Structures are given as structure tokens and as C-alpha cells.
Chain A
Amino acid sequence: MADYNTMELMICTAARELEDGASVGVGTGAPCAAAMLSQKTGSPNLTILFEAGGAAPLIPEMPISVGDSRTTWKALMASGMCEIMETACRGMLDYTFLGGAQIDMYGNLNSTRIGPDHQKPKVRFPGSGGANDFASFCWRMMVMTPQDPKRFSEKCSFITTPGWLEGGDSRAKSGLPLGAGPYKIITNMAVMDFEPESKRMRIVAVNPGYSEKDVQDNCGFELLKAKKIIDNPPPSAEELHILRDVIDPYRYVIGR
């Protein structure tokens, strides 16, 4: 087995999705690490925005909160939540990275609760935060998450954050901004996108050490397969060096 862990692999895969000149709304943890890595490798002109108001900082170390001082370190603007979300709603945010306790075949996410009773849930999670907002507004929503059959679920207990809703044209009919929606799902085993008509999740790349069967066996619903499924390249030595020595020297994210 190569010398990297699954978190490092996911972050490196995600970082390569962000092209130079794009804008991305991120949370703390792995998404922020991916945006920082992208900025320090192929995309120096990546604009990073934080929901609490931090805009285009030169992030010196991993923030702990999307509103802490690191999110405005040498930034271009210290604004507020409406400024960031309205920028996204106007159509100026290209990407966002999200996660959740559950994800279904249309990329809908649950970060609210497990169990049927809303006032007395079996497990209560944080709720939307800014996830529903970013997923509604950003052109391309991506998810970074480890993969198992419970998390990749036939049906979410609660849809906190919109993916393609019920597939087909259901999202377009809902009233959410047209043309925006889930783009890529990056897991420890594979990269998925969405079939353009049905909007169902499909495998497009498989990570080193895993087979298509592994990916399907660790998913609670049937995955479609792209015509050509590629092998996702492992992290490069340079990516790992920057990630480990510059971005996350305390192994705050990559040590998880």
C-alpha cells in the first residue's frame, strides 16, 4: 500500500478539481485543506470565501472555525454572511465542498437528524449551517466523504441540503437557481458524478487499491457507471509535501 492515507487522497483529488481563476465557498477541515492545496499547486488565483464573511484570505494555517481570524488573514475583505451568500446567489461562486451524515443517489445530504420524530430525534446533528445555502447557489457542489453503505443511503432520514432532489428535472422545478447542482462526489474509494438525464450518481474514477465492486459494495443504492471509468491517480510527492508540511503540520485534518 502506498504511503498516504485516505484523507490525504481525498484532499488531493478534491484540490485538482478547482481550476485557476475559480471561486469556492468552503467550510473548515478537509474542504479548506483542499482549497489551500489547490491554491498552492495548480490554482494560485483561486478565490476562497467563507460563509461568515472572510473573503480571499491568504490562509496561514488551518482555521478551526469558518468565522475565526484565520479566515480573514491578509484577506481582501472582511464582510458578513449576506455578502457571501448573496455573491453566491448572484452566480459568482463556482464551487462548494460539503459533507453530511447521509447522502442519497441524487446527492441530497442529511446533516440534521436520524429518526422520524423531529422534536425528539434519535440523533441530532448541527443542521444546515450554510450548507443548504451554498448547495442552492454555487454552480457546482462537491462532497468529500468516506464511503460506507450506511452513509451512502437509499433514503436520507432528512434532506437538509439539496442535491438533484428526486432526479430528472425536479430540482429545476423546485425554484432553486437553474443550472446549479451536485457535480462530483469524492470518497476514499472513488469519484462519482451524475448522469445528465436521470441525475443519478455514477462512478467515473476508482481510487488505487479499490475495484468497481468495492465501490458498489460500500454503497446503499445502485450506482450507475460512466462509459469510461478511469483510475484516479494517487497523490504526488509534491502534493503530499505541501499538504503535510505547509498546510496541516499539526495533522489536524489529515490525521483524522
Chain B
Amino acid sequence: MDVIAQGSGKIFTDPDADKARAFFRTKNRKLESKVMTVKEAVEKFTKNGDYLVLGGFGANRIPAAVAHELLRQGRKNMGFAGHTSTHDFQILCAGEVFDKLDVAYIVGLEARGLSPNARKYMESGKVDVSEWTNYSLSVRFKAAAAGVSFHPARNVMGTDTFKFSGGKIIACPFTGTKYIAQPAIYPDVAAIHVHEADIYGNCRVRGITVSDFDVARAAKRLIITCERLITNDEIRRDPSLTVIPYWCVDAVCEVPFGSYPGNMYGEYFSDEDHLREWMKVEQDPDEFKKFLDKNIYSCKDHFDYIDRNGGMRKMQMLRQKEFMFIGARS
């Protein structure tokens, strides 16, 4: 197939579908318990240099406990998919965890403004950057989930986003229409926070799924954190609710309020006061260091973090906000 034009951006993961198949051939399909702590999961399934994807949408249904643990265990030189990454991105920048980045949306926290520290890190020259869009990264995961090496799409063409991407423009063999071919991302490791999972890793998600259906299938290793462990009988009672099957999953960690300070659909709203505090302390390096020590580095686990930020009282208030018993900004 002739390449009409191509971007100059690096491709940080190998899109080769046969290599991915060779890996997936070795992946465990036994129905066995994968329950462990977040600490154990991060030790066992992540390493320096891995390409990482975090599920959810920036500050909504994010695996916050895994992000914190990556900092505590000092992971470095990772690749990362900045797929509407907002607060998750802020956490990873605080630990300078990655130095290779596929950008769709970074640095900002949507309507909350831009993260000073994330900007500083991205303007430091320490990060190798390829430019994409949210849909581009979605289809790159989708290609991997389908076990192929690229996905054609009709976005990005004609812009500088294309010039700094790793995409290639090709012509359709049937119609001659131009498409940008976007290479599959088979992440080394992904972490996704879900509402419910059984001990084997069969998962249920409520609300929007963003790109997690495909991310779960594309990832070579997958860490699941869940609000609640449920029984396998409950999964079997209504299999139509299973979004991620156990054979994609390597670790299942029960982490109640695991998306905190992010939003969790039908469970709790985001902690806007805490997110505002993050943005504020980032302006002063000394204050920020103290803040990170308190909230991440000296925390044993996610419970510890929540206890230091209002505990159950705060969680109850965020639950009331989620259900609009009280206004989100009251």
C-alpha cells in the first residue's frame, strides 16, 4: 500500500500483530484468583521503561491508587498515553514517571485550568512527544484489541497534529479515499478502575466506558482496581453486564473510593477542593514537595490517603454530591 504522506512523530510501541499474538499465546487463561494488593500488583506487573495506559477519563473513574503506587515505587522512563489525561497526568508528572508520551490531551484539568507542574515538566525538554487526538488514541487501542496493526480514520489530516504524529496517509483500495492509518498500541501494562469485579477479574463498569473496553483487550498486562469485589455467582447471574472478561486481567485489587479524588459514576463526585489545592501548591516547589510527601510518598495505601483528606466524612459528602442531594459546587 502506497504511503502518500507521513508524520515525523515516534511510535513508542511495536504495532506488529504477530508479535502481539505470540505474547497473548502465553497469557494465562486459567480461572484462578488474582486478588492482591495494589502494592503487589505494581511490583509484579510494572517495570521501568514499560508503556503505560491508565483507564477512565482524567479525573473520572481513574485508577488513582495505581498512579500513586507507581510514584511510591519510583517507576521511571515509562511511555504513556495521554488520552484525556488530567489529574492522572498531574500525578505522573509529579513523579516524572514517563519520558515518552503520546499526546491527545495533557497538562490541563479541563474547566479547572492548567497544571503548573505538568506544564513545567512538558516545557523542560525531558519528554519525547508524539501528537495525536483523543479519537486517534481510541482507534489505536481498538486496532490492538482487534489484533491488527493499524486502524484507518478520517481525522488529523491536513494539520500540524498530523505532521508531529506517527500516522501515515494512505488511499482506500476500494474507493481511493484518503485515510490516516494509525498504528495499534499494545500497552505493556494498563490499569483500569471499575465498579465491580470478581476474584478472577470479570468486571462491570457503569456509566461511560471511554476507551476502556479496548484498552483492557489491547494491554499485555492489566491491573484492575474495583470499588467492590463481587461473587462469581453474581457475574454468572447476568453475564450481559460483564465489560472486561477475566482472561484480559492479571491483578484484581479491591480499592473502595479508588477513583478519589476523581469522580466515580453513581458512587461519588470529584473532590474539587482537593484538586484545587493540588493546582495551587504546584506553584511553589517546596510546598508541592511537602504536599506530595503527605499525600503520596508517606501514605501506606489509598485508605491512608483518604484518611488524610477527610476520611469517611468526606466520602459521604462526595456521595451526596454525586446524587445531587447537594450541588457540586456548594
Contact = CB atoms under 8 A, between A and B. Distances in A.
For the residues of B in contact with A, the DSSP-based class is: loop
Interface residues of B, number: 70
A129 B209 contact: no
A64 B133 contact: no
> Residue among A79, A121, A132 with the most chain B CB within 10 A?
A132
Nearest to A118: B164
> Residue among B106, B133, B180, B207 with the most chain A CB within 10 A?
B133
Contact of A65 (B86, B133, B177): B86
A228 interface: no
A161 interface: yes
Interface string A175-203: 11100000000000000000000000000
A126 B106 contact: yes
A129 B272 contact: no
A65 B208 contact: no
A128 interface: yes
A29 B112 CA distance: 10
B318 to A, nearest CB: 11
B214 interface: yes
Interface string B307-330: 000000000000000101001110
Contact of A159 (B103, B128, B161, B329): B161
B150 interface: no
A175 B177 contact: yes
Chain A interface size, under 10 / 10 to 19 / 20 to 34 / 35 or more: 35 or more
B159 A159 contact: yes
B67 interface: no
A124 B158 contact: no
Contacts of A250: 327, 329
Given A66-B110, A85-B135, A176-B157, A129 B322 contact: no
A119 B127 contact: yes
Nearest to A131: B133
A132 B108 CA distance: 17
B60 A52 contact: yes
A175 B154 contact: yes
B104 A174 contact: no
Q: Which 5 A-B pairs have the closest CB atoms?
A: A175-B178, A67-B57, A53-B208, A174-B158, A120-B125
